[in-house]
Structure 1
Amino acid sequence: MRLSVLDGRTGVCRLAPDSEIPAWVTSGGFCSVTRTTDELSIACPEASVPGDVRCERGWRALKLEGPFEFSEVGVLASVTAPLAEAGVAVFAVSTFDTDYVLVKEERLELAVAALRERSHEVL
Structure 2
Amino acid sequence: MNIKIINKEFCICKVTNLAEVNFQDEFCFLSKTDEEISLVCTSDYVPSNTIAKEDGWKAFRVQGILDFSLTGILSKISSLLAENNISIFAVSTYNTDYIFIKDYNFQNALTVLKEYGYTIE
Question: In 2 relative to 1, CA 51–57 (structure 1 residues): closer, same or farther, beyond 3 Å?
Answer: farther
Question: What amino acid is aligned across from residue 113 of structure 2 in structure 1?
Answer: L
Question: What amino acid is aligned across from residue 92 of structure 1 in structure 2?
Answer: A
Equivalences for residues 53-64 of structure 1 within 5 A: 53=50, 54-64=52-62
Map of 1:32 onto structure 2: 29
Map of 1:87 onto structure 2: 85
Question: What amino acid is aligned across from residue 13 of structure 2 in structure 1?
Answer: C
Q: CA deviation at 1:59?
A: 0.5
Higher strand share: 2
Which structure 1 residue ranges, 5 or more long, are not aligned?
none
Q: Secondary structure at the residue paired with 1:96?
A: coil
Question: What amino acid is aligned across from residue 90 of structure 2 in structure 1?
Answer: A
Alignment equivalent of 1:74, drawn from 50, 72, 75: 72
Q: CA deviation at 1:25?
A: 3.1
Per the normalisation by structure 2, the TM-score is: 0.91
Identity %: 28
Q: Secondary structure at the residue paired with 1:9?
A: strand
RMSD after superposition: 1.4
Which structure 2 residue ranges, 5 or more long, are not aligned?
none
Query: What is the CA–CA distance in structure 2 between the aligned matches of 1:55 and 1:22, rounded to whole Å?
Result: 17
- Please tell me whether the aligned partners of residues 88 and 101 of structure 2 are also in contact (alpha carbons under 8 angstroms): yes
Query: What is the CA–CA distance in structure 2 between the aligned matches of 1:97 and 1:45, rounded to whole Å?
Result: 20
